[in-house]
Amino acid sequence: MTLTCMNAQGEFFDYCATYVTVTDHTIPSITLNDPDDPNAPNVPMVECGSAYVDPGATANDPCDGNLTDKIVTTGRVNTAVPKPYTITYDVQDSKGQSAPPVARTVEVRDTVAPTLNCPKSIEVKAESDGLATVTPAQNWATDTCSAITGFESSAPRLTVGTKTVTYTAKDAAGNQASCSVLVTVRSPSGALPDRAMVGGGCSAATRGAAAPVVWVALMLLWRRRMPQGTRRFGRVKLRGWGGIVILGALAISVPTSAQSTDIPAFELERLRLNPSGMGSWVLGTGELLPAGGYRLALAGHYENKPLILYEEGVLLGVVVRHRATAVLSGAVGLGGRVELGAQVPLVLSQQGDDLTDRGVGTPQGGVAPGTPLLTARLSLLAEHRKDSVDLSAGLSASPGLGSASALARELHAIPNLMLGRRFGAVRASLDAGFMLRPRIILNNDDNIQDELGHALRLGAGLSTTAEGLGGEVAAIGSVPLQREGYSLELLGGVRLPVGELLEVQGLTGLGLGNAPGTPRFRLLLGMSFGKVARPREPSLEEQASQEMDDPDRDRDGVLNRVDACPDEPGPASRRGCPVLDSDGDGVVDEKDQCPNKAGIVEMAGCPLKDTDGDTVWDHLDNCREIPGPSENQGCPAKDRQLVVIQRRRIAIKDTIHFDYDKATIKSVSFPLLNQVAQVLIEHPEIVSVSIEGHTDDIGTATYNRELALRRAGAVRDYLESQGVARSRMSVRSFGEDRPLQSNATEQGRATNRRVEFITRYEADAP
């Protein structure tokens, strides 16, 4: 500052003084500090639940300088509660002058969706109207800041069944999140919805509908072609195979259940190719490869929808939609009466829907080994040996190898009989067998037929016999003994020889029924290589010469031209064939269920057995499965037995009492007859019982025989009322003709008034 001093007269002075008063009238200023983000909005937004750091403000004064540390802050931000917050900044300078307050608005917002913890699946029971409402639990959804205001469901009311339902949770800020839950609604009784894993045949959705179709189609096809005189062969021989069937059923009886997601191991393929190809590609015809004959074949096999999943009659998905398999097979003829064969499948590809969210696993889709099958067949009758039909017995068995994950592994066996006959240029054939396999439960549902187990397999076909291009049609079905569905396939194919050793084949078929493995349709293409030279038949002159030289070669009285076994002697009742008893136990082979093990008549030729280990053999044990002392016929001592099983009779320890001179049974004898009925029911090997009535000699012989007959009939009626089949019982009367003691005394007459039970077993000689 420069000053010039001058007096009143205008004179300047070298020295002068002045006084300046400085005052502070300027107020401080406050400036909000910007947040770190230069692009942040004027009103900062903070996510609910996150940390908030206030950027603060800066205060300055012209006189006092930087007053930032003097700023007074009012207000705070609670990030746990979404709403706008205001923070005010104030400051005063040293003169007490206040800056205009500055405020910052901070908005706490909730933009994060709720956190969901929905269950993967739940089960509920429907109300009486058959519908169910699923209310989500509180712990299904949580939110850091806002309250959960509610759930919305894509299906508020659910019918019985399994459905995927989407639940959407909302919080107070309007945020929402969704989850999907597999909801299974039980019926009002608490039962699970009917779910079934079945085959994709044309009637798969109508369970059990194929049963009549199987029987009618197969039986009509056969009966139209087979003459009356030959229809009885199958029935007679099937009885001979009864032992094999029973033994196989006992050997293969371990049940297998499906797990929650994995499909149990079983063989999905139902079609069994004929390894020899004699007369048919898919059925045994009774004709076998001749001695020295052989055949090798390779087939490509496609199936459409052999396994699908239904629930409450609605298709949930296709477990196996497409399946492609290669099958290598071969057979050889030995000695003209025996044929051995094998087939080895290889699953090439398998595709289906992903049903894991439905609780069903996905079968392996790539290349996988299949279940090999070994076959052995024995020729019983042959048209080229001058029999009226071709008849063979066979056994096919799988050793349980293959890929379980590809539905191509199973232990099973199939004993079967194959019957065929030529009618000019056409051959009719029937293949009847019994599938023995473990019980496999695909779905634990009491109402649905989706088990696998023992089943009767029937096939009937017609094929051409002329050389060159040939064709065949066949119907193949199964009738289950478990809760498995029925199956029927109608097949048609052609065969074309190419040269002497090569043949190409093609076959297609339509599936009916709902048994697992029954496809919507199938297609096979293949080729085979082999030698099938037929044995030379003797000329008419040679046949006539043989008959003239020796008309009865085995000297059994049955001429060769009608002798089914011309070189083995046998009675005329058996068409000249011998009565065989291989194990020498007195039970002929055709009635012997264990033809190679010596046994007893009561056990159908099988060895003695003691199921409950109480030292009383089963055929004499009144309580086969409950141990008891032998003096009480193998039953617990507390249950006194009044009935004793003896050779060819059932003995009773008490008398059956009747009203005097009547056929009315007194009630005191009911416990005794109840035990007789129970023994007959528990011992089905007793095929029949003759109820014989006896009297004393009081009265005329005619009247006594009539009274004894009426009393025997009354006993039969009572036993029938207790569950014994009437067809198993017959009545006879001997009156006074067979006394046990003298009728001269009252005691003797009382003993002679009796009823006896004479038994017969299946293996008894006629």
Residue 315 lies in a domain: no
| 159, 98 Cβ separation under 8 angstroms | no
Structure tokens, 254: 């371990």
Phi/psi for 342 (5° steps) reads -155, 150
Residue 264 lies in a domain: no
- If asked whether residues 715 and 737 sit together in one domain, one would say yes
Residues of the chain with pLDDT under 50: 205-261, 448-449, 535-537, 542
- If asked whether residues 221 and 324 sit together in one domain, one would say yes
- If asked whether residues 88 and 130 sit together in one domain, one would say no
| 260, 270 Cβ separation under 8 angstroms | no
The CATH number of residue 649's host domain is: 3.30.1330.60
- If asked whether residues 399 and 430 sit together in one domain, one would say yes
- If asked whether residues 230 and 365 sit together in one domain, one would say yes
The pLDDT value recorded for residue 240 is 39
Name the domain boundary from 48, 79, 109. 109
Residue 605 lies in a domain: no
**0.85 cut: is pTM over it?**
no
Residue 223 lies in a domain: yes
- If asked whether residues 431 and 546 sit together in one domain, one would say no
Residue 17 lies in a domain: no
- If asked whether residues 121 and 99 sit together in one domain, one would say no
- If asked whether residues 149 and 86 sit together in one domain, one would say no
The CATH number of residue 134's host domain is: 2.60.40.10
Nearest to 553 by CA among 563, 542, 545: 563
Residue 11 lies in a domain: no
Q: Do β-strands 102-109 and 45-47 pair in parallel, antiparallel, or remain unpaired?
A: parallel
The pLDDT value recorded for residue 304 is 94
Nearest to 105 by CA among 135, 128, 129, 83: 83
Name the domain boundary from 89, 109, 129. 109
- If asked whether residues 121 and 82 sit together in one domain, one would say no
For residue 648, what are the domain limits? Answer: 642-761
- If asked whether residues 386 and 442 sit together in one domain, one would say yes
- If asked whether residues 675 and 754 sit together in one domain, one would say yes
Convert the pLDDT of each residue in 188-242 to its tens digit. 766 555 667 777 777 554 444 444 444 444 444 444 444 443 333 333 333 334 4
Residue 8 lies in a domain: no
Distance of CA 604 to the CA centre of its chain: 33
Between CA 530 and CA 202, with CA 526 as vertex, the angle to 5 degrees is 135
The pLDDT value recorded for residue 257 is 38
For the chain, give percent helix, strand, coil, nearest 5. 15, 40, 45
The pLDDT value recorded for residue 599 is 73
The pLDDT value recorded for residue 203 is 59
| 445, 195 Cβ separation under 8 angstroms | yes
Q: Do β-strands 373-381 and 368-369 pair in parallel, antiparallel, or remain unpaired?
A: unpaired
Structure tokens, 691: 């109820």
The pLDDT value recorded for residue 42 is 55
Residue 257 lies in a domain: no
The CATH number of residue 490's host domain is: 2.40.160.40
- What total of structural domains would you count in the chain? 5
| 729, 720 Cβ separation under 8 angstroms | yes
| 88, 71 Cβ separation under 8 angstroms | no
- If asked whether residues 562 and 459 sit together in one domain, one would say no
The pLDDT value recorded for residue 566 is 79
